[in-house]
Amino acid sequence: MARLSKKTPSVCTDNPLSNSEVNRKITLLSQILTSCFGPYGRLKQVHNTIGGHVLTTSTSSFLIQALNSSEPLLKLINASILNHVSRFSDCGLYVGILCLSLIKNVQTSDLRPSVAVLLNKHFLGLCTIYLKQEDCSCKVNIDLGDSRGLVTLARSVISSKPGCMLTKKENQHISTLAVHAFLLTVPNDETKETVRLGQTVTVPIEGQPVLDSAVFPGLMVDVPDILLHSTDIEGITQRSGPFRLALFTVSLSGDLSDLGLGSLEVHSGAPNPEDVVLDQLLWLGEQTVKDQVDVFMCQRVIHPVLQQYLRKCGVLTIERLGIDLIDLIVQMTGAQAVASYQTPVPPEAYGQVKGICVRTVGPRVLLHLLPSEETASAICTMVICHRNETMLNELKSAIQKAEHMLRLSLRHPVALLGGGCTETVLAAYCRNKGTNKAREASSILGVSQSEYLLGLHAYCLSLESVALALEHDGGTRLIDLTHAHCWYVPDGEASQSGVMEEAPPTCGCGMVERRSKPGQGAEPEWTLLNSRYPPFPPSPLVGDTSSGLLGTGSAPQPQVLDSFTAKLNALQVAVETANLILDIRCIIQDVN
């Protein structure tokens, strides 16, 4: 008998942002996300009470999935972050930190939420227009013909994941490999109008040094040891290619149960059906040998007699490939996957590999299929090694994100300066532009000038909060009053006046150098980040020594770069989500 309980009335929460419990949860989420941000972010350990896998990470997608909140406002923010990450892979923490900071700063500014929403939209528009301008000073072009920019982009993504536990040298090695793998997936065929990028197959190996990681063109296939040490392999690896390849997706086990459901009636005197199937399989083997096939591959099982026959004829036979590899083999070799053994294999179904060899990486021995030049395939294999499973998983995820960023840069070859500099430049630009146009813009928007300035301050503070979130060790973040870049001073080395005894040689992104030593020549002007400073337009990055700073714009070598596409979308998602939250007047929850 079904149990029925009486419907409980829905719970309505009026003006949820004024609720202290909701605010406590928002602050907690903000603290968690901020503490994970950037290359020095603190790791979080995620595990459940019933045991199982323990995850050590600072990656937003893993964290947000683990943070199951029942609070509707937090669910909304988490969904926005996950949606952004599912499309762009990177900048998930950025979305969360900026969104929560905007909500907090609007709350402390005492602005009416409806006015704040209007103003946030307006300032987002200012930022977006500025970022898309040619002379935007926090943007650099990526030269796809020079791998340095691509390596910097990949390194910035990978180093922002401290869970990978990489040394500087390991980080450089992995970033270079990620770019190498990405370049191998870009097809050489320039004649086609649409370019289809290839794929990188990842082979993770646990317990090996990171520096053993490597990239190979083509595919690495796991095959049984017995085959690797057989004369078949020796025979083919000593010959020069190319080799003809046949690929089957149908089971060649000869097992009648593979024919499908139903009963089989055999008249007395008729041949044994299993013998008939084996005859067909052997006929297929004879045909492929006659067609000079060198490699015979099957997704499933191959009958031992057929295997023995093929081996005797010098054909390398590989079975049980699994479904995941089939598409990749088709793409790489140009073969067509054959789904029947009863009909002859059409000649166009055969594919080609340039060469075959055996590779040993750590404890793993793999069969390496080299792509044929004729198929112009863009498949490569990246072998990733790390000391333990947790670090290996984090590294694998970071490399996938870096690959995604590199692919985005192919479509739109520009990047934004990292290290907090884009945020400080944007904040300075908005502050200056907004202050100059306050009277005009406030009357167009229908708000008072003081409301406009309050909203502007809250918005700029929120952008600067993202740059401040990079700090985890008690150091100080400063902004220079010339180029508006972000500078880091270790704990205890910055004086309150903003003059630094031990100034760093460059800003966070590495594009602005400190020209003069302390006490010599013009002293640059700095101010503490998140403080009030007089509005000024950020100077373009060209040689300018009058301020004591040198923008290295003539030969830009940024040290940290972020994906333009991912960050622009993150900025939009963060502001739109904050506006949505600020706009919510009432939450209606069904409790049973």
| Residue 410 Cβ vs Zn ion, minimum distance, rounded to whole Å | 25
Minimum distance of Zn ion from residue 488's CB (angstroms): 10
Which region, judged by CB under 5 A, interacts with Zn ion, from 14-22, 269-277, 371-379, 482-490?
482-490
Q: Between residues 319 and 471, which has the closer beta carbon with respect to Zn ion? A: 471
Cβ atoms 540, 551 nearer than 8 A: yes
Which of 408/550 has CB closer to Zn ion?
A: 550
The encoded tokens of residue 71 equal 């609070």
Nearest residue to 46 (alpha-carbon basis) of 67, 70, 20? 67
Going by their DSSP bridges, the two strands 139-141 and 414-417 should be labelled as antiparallel
Smallest separation, CB 508 to Zn ion (Å): 5
- CA dist 6 and 431 (Å) reads 56
| Binders in 327-346 for Zn ion, by CB under 5 A | none
Strands 199-206 and 379-386: parallel
Instruction: Assess 549 for contact with Zn ion (CB under 5 A).
Output: no
Q: How far is the CB of 149 from Zn ion (least distance, A)?
A: 16
Please say which residue, 97 or 507, places its beta carbon nearer to Zn ion.
507
Whole-number Å distance between alpha carbons of 215 and 381: 6
Is residue 247 within 8 A of residue 322, CB to CB? The reply is no
Interface pick for Zn ion out of 138, 306, 318, 421 (rule CB under 5 A): 421
Q: Which stretch binds Zn ion (CB under 5 A): 27-35, 474-482, 508-516, 546-554?
A: 508-516
Q: Which two tokens stand for residue 117?
A: 């929403």
The stretch near Zn ion (CB under 5 A) out of 42-50, 232-240, 329-337, 506-514 is: 506-514
What distance in Å separates the CA atoms of residue 75 and residue 290, rounded to the nearest whole number?
Answer: 63
Q: Which of 511, 571, 574, 581 binds Zn ion (CB under 5 A)?
A: 511
Closer to Zn ion by CB, 275 or 513: give it. Answer: 513
Contacts of 147 (CB under 8 A, 6+ apart): 176, 179, 183
Cα angle value 463/558/168 (rounded, 5°): 100
Paired tokens of 498: 């903003």
> What are the backbone dihedrals phi and psi of residue 217, each rounded to the nearest 5 degrees, phi first?
-70, 145
Residue from 507, 528, 560, 573 binding Zn ion (CB under 5 A): 507
Does residue 509 touch Zn ion according to CB under 5 A? yes
Q: Report the distance separating Cα 351 and Cα 336, nearest Å.
A: 7
Q: C-alpha angle with apex 222: 363 to 182, nearest 5 degrees?
A: 90
Stretch touching Zn ion by CB under 5 A, among 413-421, 428-436, 451-459, 559-567: 413-421
Nearer to Zn ion, 395 or 421 (CB): 421
By C-beta, is 560 or 568 nearer to Zn ion?
560
Site for Zn ion in 235-254 (CB under 5 A): none
Residue number, 103 or 509, with CB nearest to Zn ion: 509
Minimum distance from CB of 115 to Zn ion (Å)?
Answer: 33
Give CA–CA dist 522/502, Å, rounded.
16
3-state helix, strand, coil in the chain (%, to 5): 45, 20, 40
3-state SS string for 444-507 = HHCCCHHHHHHHHHHHHHHHHHHHHCCCCCCCEEEEECCCCCEEEECCCCECCCCCECCCCCEC
Kindly report the backbone phi and psi dihedral angles of residue 379, in degrees, each rounded to the nearest multiple of 5, phi listed first.
-105, 135
Please state the closest distance from residue 544 (CB atom) to Zn ion, in A: 14
User: With CB under 5 A, what is the number of residues at the site for Zn ion?
Assistant: 5
Widest pairwise Cα distance in the chain: 107
Instruction: Select the span of 143-151, 485-493, 517-525, 568-576 touching Zn ion (CB under 5 A).
Output: 485-493
CA–CA gap between residue 487 and residue 467 (Å, rounded): 10
Q: Are 103 and 76 in contact (CB under 8 A)?
A: no
Nearer CB in complex with Zn ion: 181/509: 509
Residue 290 buriedness (CB in 10 A; 0-12 / 13-18 / 19+): exposed
Least Å distance, CB 196 to Zn ion, is 37
Residue nearer to Zn ion on the CB measure, 244 or 485: 485
What is the contact mask toward Zn ion in residues 444 to 473, using x (rule: CB under 5 A)? ------------------------------
Give the residue, chosen from 180, 244, 368, 485, that forms a contact with Zn ion under the rule CB under 5 A: 485
Mask of contacts with Zn ion, 10-49, x by CB under 5 A?
A: ----------------------------------------
Minimum CB–partner distance for residue 483 and Zn ion (Å): 7
With respect to Zn ion, which residue has the nearer C-beta, 248 or 526? 526
Least spacing, CB of residue 419 vs Zn ion, in Å:
6
Q: State the minimum distance, in angstroms, from the CB of residue 512 to Zn ion.
A: 5
Least distance from Zn ion to the Cβ atom of residue 461, Å: 19
Which of these segments, 69-77, 172-180, 227-235, 503-511, binds Zn ion (CB under 5 A)? 503-511
Nearer to Zn ion by Cβ, of 369 and 481: the residue is 481
Q: Tell me how far, at minimum, the Cβ of 431 lies from Zn ion, in Å.
A: 17
Closest CB 145 distance from Zn ion, rounded Å: 24
In the complex with Zn ion, which residue's Cβ is closer, 26 or 507? Answer: 507
The piece of 172-180, 210-218, 295-303, 421-429 that touches Zn ion (CB under 5 A) is: 421-429
474 torsion bin: left (phi>0), alpha (psi -120 to 50), beta (else): left
Task: Please tell me the distance from the alpha carbon of residue 90 to that of residue 290, in angstroms, as a whole number.
Answer: 52
Indicate the residue among 408 and 421 with the shorter CB distance to Zn ion.
421
Q: Which stretch binds Zn ion (CB under 5 A): 42-50, 153-161, 444-452, 500-508?
A: 500-508
3-state secondary structure of 74: helix
CA distance 323 to 325: 6
Give least dist CB 530 to Zn ion, A.
17
First to last CA, the chain: 19
Residues that bind Zn ion (CB under 5 A): 421, 485, 507, 509, 511
